[in-house]
Amino acid sequence: MDSDITYLGKIIRVDSSTVEVEVSEDIPSAAPIINGRLYKIGQIGTFVKIPIGNITTYGIVSSVSNTPGKPEDNQARQIFGSRYLSVQLVGEKIGDDDFEKGIGTYPTINDEVHLVVEKDLFDIYGEKNAGSIEIGKHSSSDNLSVYVDIHKLILRHCAILGSTGSGKSNTTVSILKSILTDYDGSRVILVDPHGEYSAAFPDSQVFKIGDKKNPLYIPFWLMNFDELAYFLVGASPKDDQKIDYRLLRELITKYKKENHKLKSGNVTPEFITADSPIPFSARKLWYEMNWWLNASFESTKKDEQKRKTKFETKKGDYEKLIGAEFTSHSTTANNLPPHVTQHKEYYSYEKKLLSRLRDSRFDFMFHSGDYKDEKSSKDLHDLLNDWIGSNSKLAILDLSGVPFEVLDITIGLITRFVYDSMFWGRNETYTGKNRPILLAYEEAHSYLNKNDNNSYSKSAVERVFKEGRKFGVGALVISQRPSEISETILAQIGTLIALRLTNTGDQSIVKSSAPDNLNSLIDLLPSLRIGEAVVVGESIKIPSRIRVKLNNPRPTSEDPKLVEAWSEKHVVSKGNYKSVVTKIREQKI
Ligand SMILES: Nc1ncnc2c1ncn2[C@@H]1O[C@H](COP(=O)(O)OP(=O)(O)OP(=O)(O)O)[C@@H](O)[C@H]1O
Ligand SMILES: [Mg+2]
């Protein structure tokens, strides 16, 4: 067999899943041509095979040297003139069975090692089948499609990581397109903080703040109480012991209980808490706080509970944010009983809530169109039907208009709401386990940051990564800074698609979180070309270096046209910047 044209050499050392190969000196060329293709011996990241009876074991070349053994042993055992390859074993093929990851029978000293030719690769990757999608072509061959197991890719979660400009968005488009084309019942929500994907998916449903046809609404009342307290009045659970925090909880619970008759179906009031996603009017909440703050009461010494207000002179209008008016407080007037006021505690909350309600940037949460409050025509089942129940398999949530300080809570709400709908709908025929969903998060490092302990989105997304599989929720994170991403998320990634990555901190994070222990392939990351990726993990048969094609239409990254802009001479005008300043003041584009 060593006359075989694919013959490389013999094993001289076996060390758990790494073997060392001495390349035969009789090989006529370091770059043999087999069936018209050129193969280079000893290329890092290429495959070799070790046939033992009817079992063929496959491995990846991880290092090449002209001295055998581990680097620390080299001085003692220097032999020159030969070539030595370190090979990491990855899987085996028994007879005509499919290739399987993992090693059952280990090779031993003097076993023959052969080059892997194109036909072997076709045998490994196999044909496309019902459970797979194509993610790209093998780097060594344009004819060789690389497939991944769609079930494992989605439900064991995945990540696309790479430096800026390495081709992450393009890879995301490729993968989503494969899914949407091959699977008629698939559904995907893509969280798109920069609004770049709608151009690449003309058939998708795009929801965007302020859009005439498909505006994005995230009703603020989807929040639980702690989130409401933070968002509406800037309070945190640390204030739990304070009277104002408790009063706020009581007020909100009261409103929610009042609104138990709902379009999606009535809810038993006893089951409603301050955390329930029940519509209520934030304007009414403000009006009531304002009322308690300004109202004056007759002081009755006997029974404080029976105080009556007699001093309201004019009703306000909560929709217009106009408070009620009262006669001025007087504790000294001779012919009137003394007045007292209650609930001074609301002072700071009332002011903060008023400024939130007046801030037009939050209109997508407060004036949420048909989802505004309890009187609105639509309820949450309509929102779910829009996002995940329509004919469009892909919903893009374009968050480019979301103010930075509420991006975190917005993504948290979206994730939790979709997750809850899958959890509570787990046994329905049309959702939950019976129709899984993929949630894709672009620019994940900016809101799933490992150092942010108060991140709502991070805790919601971590829950998807930890428990989503059981209820049919899979996740994909896309990021240029893996070292900033939550460790819980990285630890749960089943398939890693790593593009060029230059930062060493990021590389070591990828190395340590790569599902297969294949450092040799991960070491290639800084030298990958644009659009080239290393794919490792549960969904791929064998860790592979792939090429992703450039898609058309493409996502827009909308770089300003700097050269054209700077080439034109600037025309000075005193009127410039007026409208810019107004926009800064109104926070409205
Ligand atoms: N597979 C590919 N083949 C050829 N060119 C590519 C490929 N993928 C991406 N490019 C080129 O690289 C550019 C950047 O790609 P892309 O926007 O996908 O990168 P990115 O990693 O998402 O960057 P960012 O971190 O800035 O979002 C594209 O505009 C395209 O011109
Ligand atoms: Mg991108």
DSSP secondary structure letters along 439-486: EEETTGGGTSBTT-TT-HHHHHHHHHHHHGGGGTEEEEEEES-GGGB-
The closest residue, in CA terms, to atom 15 on ligand 1 is 167
531 within ligand 1 shell (Cβ under 6 A): yes
Q: Are strands 145-149 and 325-326 parallel, antiparallel or unpaired?
A: unpaired
Q: Domain segments of the chain: what residues?
A: 7-126, 134-204+392-555, 225-358
173 within ligand 1 shell (Cβ under 6 A): no
529 within ligand 1 shell (Cβ under 6 A): no
169 within ligand 1 shell (Cβ under 6 A): yes
- Per-residue pLDDT tens listing for the chain (589 residues): 556 888 999 999 998 889 999 998 887 777 788 887 778 787 888 889 999 999 999 999 888 888 776 555 544 444 434 589 999 999 999 998 888 888 999 999 999 999 998 888 888 888 888 899 999 999 888 889 999 999 999 999 999 999 999 999 999 999 999 999 999 999 999 999 999 999 999 999 999 988 889 999 999 999 999 999 999 999 888 888 888 899 999 999 999 999 999 999 999 999 999 999 999 999 999 999 998 888 877 665 555 555 566 678 889 999 999 999 887 655 555 555 556 666 778 888 999 999 999 988 888 999 888 887 778 888 999 999 999 999 999 999 999 988 888 899 999 999 999 999 999 999 899 999 999 999 999 999 999 999 998 899 999 999 999 999 999 999 999 999 999 999 999 999 999 999 999 999 999 999 888 776 677 788 889 999 999 999 999 999 888 999 999 999 988 865 667 888 899 998 899 888 888 888 777 656 6
The closest residue, in CA terms, to atom 16 on ligand 1 is 167
Give the DSSP per-residue string, 305-352. Answer: GG-----EEE--BTTTTB--EEPPP-SS-SSSPPEEE--GGGHHHHHH
pLDDT at residue 371, rounded to an integer:
83
Is 137 strand, coil or helix?
strand
Closest Cα to residue 195, out of 185, 204, 187? Answer: 204
553 within ligand 1 shell (Cβ under 6 A): no
Using most ligand atoms within 8 A of CB, pick from 146, 170, 547, 559 the residue to mutate for ligand 1.
170
170 within ligand 1 shell (Cβ under 6 A): yes
Query: How far is Cα 111 from Cα 117, in angstroms, rounded to an integer?
Result: 19
Nearest ligand, measured from the Cα of 166: 1
CA 175 – ligand 2 centroid, Å: 14
Closest Cα to residue 144, out of 160, 120, 174, 166? Answer: 120
The closest residue, in CA terms, to atom 25 on ligand 1 is 164
Query: How far is Cα 411 from Cα 407, in angstroms, rounded to an integer?
Result: 6
CA 485 – ligand 1 centroid, Å: 21
9 within ligand 1 shell (Cβ under 6 A): no
166 within ligand 1 shell (Cβ under 6 A): yes
Nearest ligand, measured from the Cα of 548: 1
Nearest ligand, measured from the Cα of 499: 1
Burial 122-136 (b: 16+ CB within 10 A, else e): ebbbeeeeeebbbbb
Contact at 8 Å (CB) between 60 and 47? yes
Is 73 strand, coil or helix?
helix
The total number of residues shown for the chain amounts to 589
The closest residue, in CA terms, to atom 11 on ligand 1 is 167
The arrangement of secondary structure in 134-204+392-555, i.e. its CATH architecture, is 3-Layer(aba) Sandwich (3.40)
Cβ-proximal residues to 1 (8 Å cutoff; 6+ apart), any chain: 7, 112
333 within ligand 1 shell (Cβ under 6 A): no
Is the C-alpha dihedral spanning 413, 416, 418, 421 positive or negative?
Answer: negative
CA 353 – ligand 2 centroid, Å: 36
